[in-house]
Amino acid sequence: MPRSPAIILDHVDIAYAKGLQFFSSKKTWVIQDVTLEIEHGETLGILGKNGAGKSTLLKLLAGMILPDKGCITFNVDRVSLLALQVGFLEHLNGRENVVLSAMFMGLSKKEILSKMDRVVNFSGIAEYIDKPVSTYSAGMKARLGFSVAFHVDADVILVDEVIAVGDAEFKKAARLAMREKISAGKAAVIVSHDFALLREWCDRLVWLDKGRIIQAGEPDEVILAYQKSLRV
Amino acid sequence: MIKRHYLLLAGYKAYSDLKAEASRGFLGVTWWVIEPILYMGVFYFAFGMMFSRGEGDYVSFLLCGLVAWKWFAGSVATGCSSIIAHRGIIRLVYVPKYVFPLASMLSGTAKFIVVFVLLIAYLLYVGYVPNRSWLWLPALLLLQFFLALGVSGILASLTPFFPDLRGLTESALMLLFFLSGIFFDIEKIDGEAASWLFLNPLASLINAYRSILIEEAFDASVLLYPALISAALLVLSILLLVRFDRQYSKVIQ
């Protein structure tokens, strides 16, 4: 039986209000007439200049905002942005922050406690995990943040600019883990300017400009067309 | 409309905030006892010693009012900016926004309970004896909880659109402090003014605390009006928070 796509966007428009948000009728349309399907297990890359609407699209996919026109349909339970250190409180220890952060990302306390060992081991800061996060270096915080977000296990993972966390060694581990998760059949949407990475990771690319889809398809073709447009 | 997970999240967030607060300062948890005692000491000095007319037990009268007031004012002031204050989270994940005013209400309530126990201890110490009307206290506390939660929720839902509401809330609270009969007895005011002042549900609640705790003359029907107002405000706050739920991450920068 063919499954319906994980997420379906049907002629979606999104506007931001200008000035006083409550009454204003002046609107800036940051996403215009976007129709897109994200299949289960697919890795979709999004390409485009600053202000093209990439982050807004991710917010829409994460369920943080609703379309102003058109509609979006989710056929999965959990879609989440790979966001680091959500809700972290400086004066709590590592473990407590892991629980708090994971609960904000939608996990029950029981679920995250059952994953605690894996989260701590992956972060590589096991010896500091019972110390307050305020004593951590920025790199350590980022490692722990990544580790929690990574273990949330959403059905569709959204990544805004690929993880440049911690030292070279951790960066490598983080990328490898992401890569494994994606090849294991998790759907992902990745926003990046790194052509090599997009080519290597993605099944399909979407090129976004001024809120519209300019081109969608094979990574090589889309990157070529995008690069051409930059040279003009 | 409201999911169990997010109620648990609000509870865990409140617990985390309290824990973080306690481990921050040198005094930690003891500060939750010392700070309200200092606060009430100031008012005791200002109103109790300078304005006391020597009739009845003014100190107990004043403390009942202040304890209830501090819970309300503290919750509303922090509840008002609870959504704005968590913009970092709202930008990154979808969380139903009622979590934030609810969490701040819960942590404010935990601190209030410490103070309330102190108040009861003081009243017992000076010779008040618990009687049957004290059984109404849980209902009264619950009512005030929902009143403050409703007001906080409404303010929290609107503040991201109108940041000036935070300043307005401060001034409104100041005005309310003088209108709620905290250091005077509204019932002793002559004429129509008293019935106008009792339109403020907080004034009715504060009056009810006193009737129960120190006057031994409590008529539960006075809770009906504040109960209706609290329910209406709570429903309105939920409607607003749900209505604007997925707009905040656009508005908050």
CB burial of residue B125 (10 Å; 0-12, 13-18, 19+):
exposed
For residue A17, list chain B residues with Cβ-Cβ distance below 8 A.
250
By C-alpha distance, which of B12, B197, B177, B29 is closest to B106? B12
Residue B89 in contact with partner chain A when CB distance is under 8 A: yes
By C-alpha distance, which of A55, A159, A163, A145 is closest to A104? A145
Rounded Cα distance between A115 and B24, Å, is 28
The pairing of strands A7-17 and A43-47 is unpaired
pLDDT at A202: 92
pLDDT at B52: 62
pLDDT at A219: 95
The series of mean pLDDT values per 10 residues for chain B, 253 residues long, is 91 95 81 85 76 72 93 96 95 95 97 93 92 93 98 97 94 95 86 87 95 88 95 97 92 80
State the ipTM, two decimals.
0.89
User: What residues contact residue A154 under an 8 Å CB cut-off, 6+ apart?
Assistant: A78, A79, A80, A186
| Domains observed in chain A | 7-78+190-231 (3.40.50.300), 84-153 (1.10.8)
Distance of CA B89 to the CA centre of its chain: 25
CA dihedral A37, A43, A45, A51 (to 10 degrees): 60
A193-196, Cβ contacts within 8 angstroms, sequence gap of 24 or more: A193/A47, A193/A161, A194/A162, A195/A223, A195/A227
The pairing of strands A43-47 and A156-160 is unpaired
What pTM did the predictor assign? 0.92
Measured in angstroms, the CA of A15 and the nearest CA of chain B are apart by: 9
Q: pLDDT tens, position by position, for chain A (232 residues)?
A: 567 899 999 999 999 876 555 566 678 899 999 999 999 989 999 999 988 999 999 999 999 999 999 999 999 988 989 888 999 999 999 999 999 999 999 999 999 999 999 999 999 999 999 999 999 998 899 899 999 999 998 899 999 876 666 678 888 888 888 888 888 888 999 999 889 989 988 999 999 999 999 999 999 999 999 999 988 7
User: What residues contact residue B10 under an 8 Å CB cut-off, 6+ apart?
Assistant: B98, B99, B100, B102, B103, B106
For residue A81, list chain B residues with Cβ-Cβ distance below 8 A.
92-93
3-state helix, strand, coil in chain A (%, to 5): 40, 25, 35
Question: Is-contact B197 B181, C-beta < 8 A?
Answer: yes
pLDDT at B39: 83
What residue segments make up the domains of chain B, in order of their start?
4-251
For residue B159, list chain A residues with Cβ-Cβ distance below 8 A.
none
pLDDT at B241: 96
Question: Is-contact A17 A179, C-beta < 8 A?
Answer: no
Chain B residue with CA closest to A65: the answer is B246
Rounded Cα distance between A191 and A176, Å, is 17
Are A106 and B161 an interchain contact pair (Cβ–Cβ within 8 Å)? Answer: no
Distance of CA B22 to the CA centre of its chain: 21
By C-alpha distance, which of A20, A29, A45 is closest to A210? A29
Out of A90, A96, A103, name the one closest to residue B9 (CB). Answer: A103
Chain B contact probe: residue of A72, A104, A158 with most B CBs at under 10 A: A104
For residue A100, list chain B residues with Cβ-Cβ distance below 8 A.
12-13, 16
pLDDT at A136: 95
**Residue located via tokens 């722990």:** A144
Rounded Cα distance between A81 and A66, Å, is 16
Are B12 and A106 an interchain contact pair (Cβ–Cβ within 8 Å)? Answer: no
HSE-up (13 A, CA, CB side) for residue B203: 20
Out of A17, A91, A108, name the one closest to residue B20 (CB). Answer: A91
For residue A65, list chain B residues with Cβ-Cβ distance below 8 A.
246-247, 249-250
